[in-house]
Amino acid sequence: MRTTIIRYGIRAAIAIVALSGISLMFISKDESGFHWGEVLGYLAIFLSMIFVYIGIRHYRDHQNGGVVSFGQALKLGVLITLFPAIAFGIYDQIYVNFIDPDFYEDYYQVQMDSIEEANEVAYEARVAEIKSEMETFSNPIVQYLVMFATVLLIGLVVSIISGLILKRDVPPATG
């Protein structure tokens, strides 16, 4: 089980970092660019989670005699997911601290520029919300934990679905 976790965890980590890095080449620093950046970021997460499914299936078919319980599959999936979750948190820190240190400042400026001023109370509330988010995300630990948790939660869902699809209590008939 350990070799499967490491093999597919590393592949998922490489995939999430590579896909995230590639997506940054196509993003502009405006409202639509940040929107597409978010879409591509989630797409990178979901695509890297393919390795959770493949890892569970590989373990079942090649290392565990064609059987895997839901619990084993869930455990395997979550442990594989830890690799891309850690990698994505580290990648985010490298990106916002070294590659684009103005990322959050630019992001929040675009958010401020997009606020509608129709209702003064709603406007002030939204400004306060954006400033609160800026303060929260200025902490690198919070940034890391949010990115880590995002990948981990998506990986948990993929692990549950994969476990339900791939569980097999009886080895396949050979014939």
Whether pLDDT at 124 is above 90? no
Calpha distance 18→21 (Å, rounded): 5
Cα(171)–Cα(175) distance, integer angstroms: 12
The DSSP letter of residue 168 is B
Diameter of the chain measured on Cα atoms: 74
3-state secondary structure of 68: strand
For the chain, what is the mean pLDDT?
90
SS3 per residue for 99-112: HCCCHHHHHHHHHH
- Considering just the CA atoms, what is the radius of gyration of the chain in Å? 20
Residue 31 near residue 110, CB atoms below 8 Å:
yes
Q: What is the pLDDT of residues 11-38, one digit of tens each?
A: 999 999 999 998 877 777 776 778 888 8
DSSP state of 42: H
pTM over 0.95: no
Q: Rounded to an integer, what distance in angstroms lies between the CA atom of residue 54 and that of residue 42?
A: 19
